[in-house]
Structures are given as structure tokens and as C-alpha cells.
Amino acid sequence: MIDDSARTQAYRHAILTNYPLFYGKTVLDVGCGTGILSVFCCLAGARRVYAVDASGAAKFARAVAAENGYSDRIRVLQCRAEEAELPEQVDVIVSEWMGHALLYESMLDSVLVARDRWLRPGGALFPERAVLKMALCTAPELALETGGAQFWRGVYDRYKVRMTCLAEVEERRRWSDLPARVCALLPEELHSHAATVCDLNLHTVRAEELRELRAPAVELQSFGRAQLTGLALWFDVHFPGGDELSTSPYVTETHWGQTVLPLEPVNVDQDSTVQCPMVMRPDPKHPRNWRFSVDLAVGDGDSRTIQWVMDGTG
Amino acid sequence: MIDDSARTQAYRHAILTNYPLFYGKTVLDVGCGTGILSVFCCLAGARRVYAVDASGAAKFARAVAAENGYSDRIRVLQCRAEEAELPEQVDVIVSEWMGHALLYESMLDSVLVARDRWLRPGGALFPERAVLKMALCTAPELALETGGAQFWRGVYDRYKVRMTCLAEVEERRRWSDLPARVCALLPEELHSHAATVCDLNLHTVRAEELRELRAPAVELQSFGRAQLTGLALWFDVHFPGGDELSTSPYVTETHWGQTVLPLEPVNVDQDSTVQCPMVMRPDPKHPRNWRFSVDLAVGDGDSRTIQWVMDGTG
């Protein structure tokens, strides 16, 4: 993840330019990994950083702290953030907790527990706000996949066996139950401005609210005539002082990419209104999987409910 | 898999050119999938094909049989091959059971049960022989991976945080416990002729013999001075009448590719002898994973034991 410059430089810039919030202060780094955010906090003058990670990366964080001369200021704790025992409240929590579509396999729950337990009143959060966006899109990869049907039609030419019956199956299957998937969209593949699906104030949001996120009034206007094949999701997070890290298709690509909820192709005219109120929640059976449900209505047409699962395979 | 022309055409050619073995005869197709091999058998004149598959593909096999006009000759059974109940012995068993490195997640066990139960004495097997080969190689992908260490050294230039300590970890880790992996090797990446690791007569091999395959005398001679970074494995299967399907790097690529067991780079001179007796067996804890153990000795050097696991992640 360190290789993701857009991500790492956004944190670096936000931390260093906010050095008054760090200088002489105490910091908790939730899910520190190899500890680069902790080192940024020391560079900004932090007196003490508690760097917490449950994985074996904790020992690398310790080595990195030492190599940078901060063994005395960075205290690495290998445990779950929920189980960390600190000797004091902290002035700042830094964490890179975001997942695809913001919340898929995200660590936000751990950050909220740490916030409620260890952040002193009035303390700062890096980031402090997270916004999930949605826009209409054409995902070219999806168009390519419909080649599956074409493939079956071509089997006769190759092997003299007819398999057109499978092309029909392929087409029926193709557009039902396609999983959400991570793509790198180009700006020209977007066909609307982005609407806000949710806007989380990380100082106040509660873990229970993340169990079901409802966006009842999402409405998108198509830029022009287009064939839509998906709804694109991405997020921005905001740091104190105005810095932000965006995963939008309009800025430098990050490892998060964008998340596309594939649609059976639908044609829209210029300025068509597309209503797409959405509900997001973890799958009750497989809580690591995330479920999206949208009541899609194009123009004056009736709405139909479409569901997707995000299971890491898309 | 039908998209793999080298594979599908090899079966097609072997079946059609052996039509005297099929004409008016009964066939069992083990793991029929969408049923293309069963149709080939009908094209070769089979009177009756029992097409067995435990997966939902069975219903597609039924549709494909109908589309090709063979509903009366192909009887599709959706069940495990071990549980199939046929009304008669068969004259031929066809099956495409091979996995990466021949036996990784292969269906050979099922074919052997079907053979012992349903193949009439003197019946034919397609394929009837399977040979696993090994050669010395340089796998360029692996060389690239050592860039990981270089990456950590470069972190300071990007973020002003020193992480060279992780480069050392990376290098130590890189060459221990690397999993076996599937590659597409180029002929020029091979540095020896291929030795035979095992040569299975599918008429006589017993499932117990597959629980541990020993190749005590594998010896390879390097073509020239080279830096070896792996042992390459691939297989050939042979059909009655002389047709074969090879997954060697010297012929058309198949979806099986080659399997590479990564080595910490070792330099060899021209005509160096590399002893690499091997033992292959399923992991006792995770039987789907396959373990390879080689006692590697270069020239007159001492041998050292290297182990790899093939777990589908490599």
C-alpha cells in the first residue's frame, strides 16, 4: 500500500502541514502496518506514537521506527486495536482504514472503538470525514465479457460441435447476479456528475450506523445519450485543515480503484434522470461480503430492484 | 477450458482418428463438463456415451447433446463418478482429468475408480498414459519479484522515511517458502533437457501410488552457464494410437502452463549436473495442497532439501 503514492503522499502532506496538531502530542496509529504513518507523525513532532497492528507487520513497524531513530517515540503494540491498552489518552488518531467502496473489509469499526476509548475530548482524527460517491458509468470491461456468448456461438467453427444453447445461458446469466467489482474507470466512462451516497463525520458516526447505510434520495442526471452498464462508487476522505484523499476517476489512480455495480445495458438520453436510492449492508450469512441494493428508475420508467454482492471475487 | 484449443483439439483428433475404438461402442466420459468430449465420441460413432459430472454443468451437457442431435446416445448423469451407476460395462473411458503439475487438484482418482468398476477388460482409456517432466529453468517473473527489496530501499526518496530494514527481510523471505506457481515459460528460459519424474500407465496405476510419488533418480544437465531460479514441471498425456497432448514450453501454450518450483538463484556452468530427486505428496493437513520436496545438489556440492507447497495462490 505504501507503493500507492496518491494515498501515502496524501497522509504525509496532511500530517506534516498540520504539525501544530502533532508537535509534542500523543498519537494512536490504528492498523499501523509497517509504521510509515507513525514515522510521519514523528516527523511532525509527535512526542509519543502508539502504533497498533494485530498482524506480524508489527515487528516490521518496530524495525522501521528504529531505523528512523524513533524507537523512543514510537511504541508498537501487536494486538487488535480493540484490545490495545494505552497508558494515556491521545491527542490524535491516524488510521488508513478504508476499503473498496469505502467500507468493504474496512477497519473503520476498530477506529471507532479506539476513538471512543482513547481519543481525548476535542482530539483530532486523520481522516475526520469520509464521503461515498456514486455516478453513472460505462464499464468497458463488462462489455467485453459479453463475448462469452459469442464464444459459444463460435465453437462449431473450431470443433464442429454446436454449443449455441450455452450462449443463451451465458446471456441470461451475464446480467443477473454479477458481483460488484473493482475497476479503474476513465473519466470519459462516467456519464453523470457524482451524487453523495453517504457522508460520514468520523467524530460522531457510530458503528451501528454502518450496519446498514441508506441513501434514499440518490438521483443522477446523464450527461448525454449513452449506454450505461454500471453504477460507479468511489470515496473521498478529508483531513483536518482541508487536505483530502480522493479515489475518484478524475484524479491519480489509487489501489482502491473504483467499485462498479454492473447493470444490464440501459440507454439514456441527454439529461435523463436516473433515480437510484441505495441500501448497503453486510451479508447476514457472510458478514465479510457486502450487499448493495438499488431501486433503479430511468426517466419516468418504473423502478426495479437490483442487488449486488461484493465478495472479493469481482 | 474449451477455449484451450491445444487441449480440445488434441482430444478431438485422438478420438476421431481412433474411430474404430468408438464405432458402435459404449463410452464413459468422466467429468464431462459441458459435454464436448461426449459429442466427439458420438462423432466417432459411439453407440452410447455415459457423461458424468457432479457439477451443475451436467444440465448444459444435456442441452449440448440435444443441440447436436445426440440426446438418444448421450446419457448425462449428474453425480460423482464414484457414485455413477451404469447399466453396462463400457468399452472406452474418456476424461480430461489433469491438473497443474499433472496431479494438483486433478480428477485422476475418480477416473481410476471408474476404470476399476466400469471399464471392460481390454477396454481403452483416453488418455492411457501420463508423464510428468522436470527441467532446470530461469523464471523471469521471479527475478522481477526481487524488486520488492529495491522498492523498500527507494521509500526514502519518495516519503523521507527509511525502510531499508524491510529490504533485508524481503530478501530473506523471498527465497524461503515461495510457493510453487503456474507460469508460461519460454523455451529459452529452460536450461536443460527434461527428465521424467513419473510415467503413469493409467491402465495399471493404483490410487494408493498417487499418495506419494517418488522420483529418486532425477538428474539434469545444464545446457550452458546460467543462473537458475527454478525447477520447471510439465506433463504430457498419451492417447491410444500415438496422439499426445503436451504442456511443454516447446509447444502451443495450454491453460495448464508450466509449474515452477522457485529456487534461490544458483549459478551453474555448462554441463553441470544437477541432482534433484523429488518426492510429491498431498499436504496431510490440507490435502488439496500438494507438497514437493527436492534434495538439490549442484555438481559435486552437498545436497540440501528444499520444499514447496502448491496451494493455488502461487
pTM: 0.71
Query: Distance between CA atoms of A195 and A274, rounded to whole angstroms?
Result: 11
Phi, then psi, of B312 in degrees rounded to 5: 80, -5
| B105 classed as catalytic | yes
Query: Distance between CA atoms of A155 and B237, rounded to whole angstroms?
Result: 24
CA A191 to chain centre: 21
Condensed to tens digits (0 to 9), the pLDDT of residues A223-247 reads 989 999 899 999 999 999 999 999 9
Please name the helix (run of DSSP H) or strand (run of DSSP E) that holds residue A293, with its range, or none: strand A290-298
Q: Take residue A312 and report the three cell numbers written for it.
A: 472479493
What is the pLDDT at residue B168? 80
Q: Take residue B306 and report the three cell numbers written for it.
A: 528444499
CA distance B152 to chain A (A): 9
Q: Which residues of A touch B154 (CB under 8 A)?
A: none
Query: Distance between CA atoms of B61 and B74, rounded to whole angstroms?
Result: 9
Tell me the Cα Rg of chain A: 23
Classify residue B87 as exposed, middle or buried by CB count within 10 Å of its CB (0-12, 13-18, 19+). exposed
Tell me if chain A has a CB within 8 Å of the CB of B155.
Answer: yes
Of A5, A64, A158, the CB nearest to B166: A64
Q: Which residues of B touch A40 (CB under 8 A)?
A: 159, 161
Q: List all residues of chain A from 74 to 103 with a beta carbon under 8 Å from chain B.
A: none
Range list for CATH 2.70.160.11 in chain B: 131-310
CA distance A33 to chain B (A): 12
What is the pLDDT at residue A173? 64
Confidence band of B230 (pLDDT split at 50, 70, 90): very high
Percent helix, strand and coil across chain B, each rounded to 5? 30, 35, 35
- Provide the residue count of chain B: 314
What is the pLDDT at residue A76? 98
Q: How many CB atoms neighbour CB A207 within 10 A?
A: 13
Q: Are strands A290-298 and A278-282 parallel, antiparallel or unpaired?
A: antiparallel
Range list for CATH 3.40.50.150 in chain A: 5-126
Q: Directed axis angle between helix A57-67 and helix A36-43, to 10°?
A: 30
What is the pLDDT at residue B150? 79
Q: Which residues of A touch B166 (CB under 8 A)?
A: 34, 60, 63-64
Say which residues have a Cβ less than 8 Å from residue B4's Cβ, sequence separation at least 6.
Answer: B254, B255
What is the pLDDT at residue B175? 63
SS (H, E, C) B234-263: EEEEECHHHCEEECCCCCCCCCCCEEEEEE
Q: Taking CB atoms and an 8 Å limit, are A64 and B3 in contact across chains? A: no
Mutate to test the interface with A, among B1, B156, B160, B163 (most CBs of A within 10 A): B163
Residues A268-280, mean pLDDT to the nearest whole number: 94
Q: How many CB atoms neighbour CB A89 within 10 A?
A: 13
Q: Which residues of B touch A169 (CB under 8 A)?
A: 60, 63
SS3 of A172, please?
A: helix
Are the CB atoms for B218 and B197 separated by under 8 Å? Answer: yes
Superfamily of domain B5-126: Vaccinia Virus protein VP39 (3.40.50.150)
CATH fold for domain A131-310: Hnrnp arginine n-methyltransferase1 (2.70.160)
Condensed to tens digits (0 to 9), the pLDDT of residues B119-165 reads 999 999 999 999 999 999 997 666 555 567 778 888 899 899 999 98
Calculate the CA dihedral of residues A238, A243, A249, A253 and round it to 10 degrees: -110
**Long-range contacts: A265-269, Cβ < 8 Å, 24+?**
A265/A143, A265/A227, A265/A228, A265/A229, A266/A227, A266/A228, A266/A298, A267/A225, A267/A226, A267/A227, A267/A228, A268/A136, A268/A191, A268/A222, A268/A225, A268/A226, A268/A227, A268/A228, A268/A298, A268/A299, A269/A222, A269/A225, A269/A299
Q: Directed axis angle between helix A36-43 and helix A5-17, to 10°?
A: 30
Tell me if chain B has a CB within 8 Å of the CB of A150.
Answer: no
From residue A163, alpha-carbon distances to A31, A97, A170, A171 in Å are 51, 47, 11, 13
pLDDT above 90 for B193: yes
Tell me if chain A has a CB within 8 Å of the CB of B8.
Answer: yes
Of B64, B66, B159, the CB nearest to A12: B159
Q: Taking CB atoms and an 8 Å limit, are B166 and A8 in contact across chains? A: no
pLDDT above 90 for B72: yes
Q: Which residues of A touch B158 (CB under 8 A)?
A: 5, 8-9
Number of Cβ pairs < 8 A linking chain A and chain B:
78
pLDDT above 60 for B95: yes
Condensed to tens digits (0 to 9), the pLDDT of residues A42-61 reads 999 999 999 999 999 999 99
Q: For the sheet with A119-126, list strands across it.
A: A74-77, A48-52, A26-30, A90-95, A119-126
pLDDT above 60 for A146: no
Condensed to tens digits (0 to 9), the pLDDT of residues A180-224 reads 889 999 999 999 999 999 999 999 999 999 999 999 999 999 998
Percentage, residues of chain B above pLDDT 70: 94
Q: Which of A238, A236, A148, A169 lies closest to B67, judged by CA?
A: A169
Q: Take residue B279 and report the three cell numbers written for it.
A: 518426492
Confidence band of A128 (pLDDT split at 50, 70, 90): very high
Q: Taking CB atoms and an 8 Å limit, are B166 and A68 in contact across chains? A: no
What is the pLDDT at residue A177? 66
Percentage, residues of chain A above pLDDT 90: 76
What is the pLDDT at residue B153? 86
Active-site choice (B83, B88, B105, B264): B105
pLDDT above 80 for A141: no
Query: Distance between CA atoms of A269 and B291, rounded to whole angstroms?
Result: 58
Confidence band of B286 (pLDDT split at 50, 70, 90): confident
